Amino acid sequence: MTQPRVCVLRAPGTNCDSETAFAFERCGAIAERVHLFRLLENPAVLKDYQILCLPGGFSYGDDIGAGVIFSQKLGGPLVEPLREMLSRDTLLLGVCNGFQVLLKAGLLPGGTQNWPPSGARDVTLTWNENGKYTALWVRLKNTAPHNAFLKGIDEIDLPIAHAEGRLAVRDPGVLSAWQKQGNVALCYVPKAGANGVRPTEAKLEYPENPNGSFANIAALSDASGRVLGLMPHPERFIDATQHPRWTRLGLTGDGDGLKVFQNAVDYFK
């Protein structure tokens, strides 16, 4: 097995980089926490990695919007190195703030196709419908089984912790195209599970859809399945005992979130 190298890219205000690197390492990867300033000084270091991950936090204090400043930093001198990296058989993951960055940079849902984008974005992540920071556990349905990070996952429990996690679109008609292209990756579903219901059909209410996201969408994938952005935090549920109801549910061993990182490592077998 090839031991993949992971670049956990952090910026001022990132606060989930250590936990994310630990999750990758536990699954057998070599993970390095790399500061954005170092990457800007030497973009060529991306050639040393097979996985790039943008972890959660509040990059640049979420000034002018969550992930906005960080997303702008991915333009300019980093455009070609990022394009080169993703042209190889590599993986890209954005968790919470990292998802906000990838979406606002234009790397999701289309990947590097037509990137950097021109003109106004058709989709964004913005303030939760309740207007406040929200932290709770959610149930999720995998609607993109082709995505490398989600292989073998049907439904999972994960925690969310964000203020700007509501997926909003300019035109609701985009959902049909996203579904055909495999862009809808994870959807919020009731605690009892999807039970055969298409998770995008009827918008759920709080707390099942904790932020009011369009079509209950919690994560997006590119068409290739090598890029994933999700609002929930898989790195916060890598052990069963991290679940708030682990004793009542009789959970033991690994938490649901560890599978996301294990899938990424196993991709390079």
Within 8 A by CB and 6+ apart from 94, the residues are: 53, 54, 100, 101, 102, 103, 108, 228, 229, 230
Candidate list 53, 162, 187, 235, residue with the active-site label: 235
Helices and strands, counts by H and E, the chain? 8, 11
Number of Cβ within 10 Å of residue 178's Cβ equals: 22
- CA dist 94 and 111 (Å) reads 12
Candidate list 16, 27, 53, 233, residue with the active-site label: 233
Candidate list 96, 164, 187, 243, residue with the active-site label: 96
Q: Catalytic site residue 243?
A: no
Pick from 176, 162, 264: nearest CA to 213: 162
Q: Catalytic site residue 235?
A: yes
Pick from 168, 175, 176, 182: nearest CA to 211: 168
- CA dist 207 and 122 (Å) reads 26
Q: Catalytic site residue 233?
A: yes
Query: Which are the catalytic amino acids?
Result: 96, 233, 235
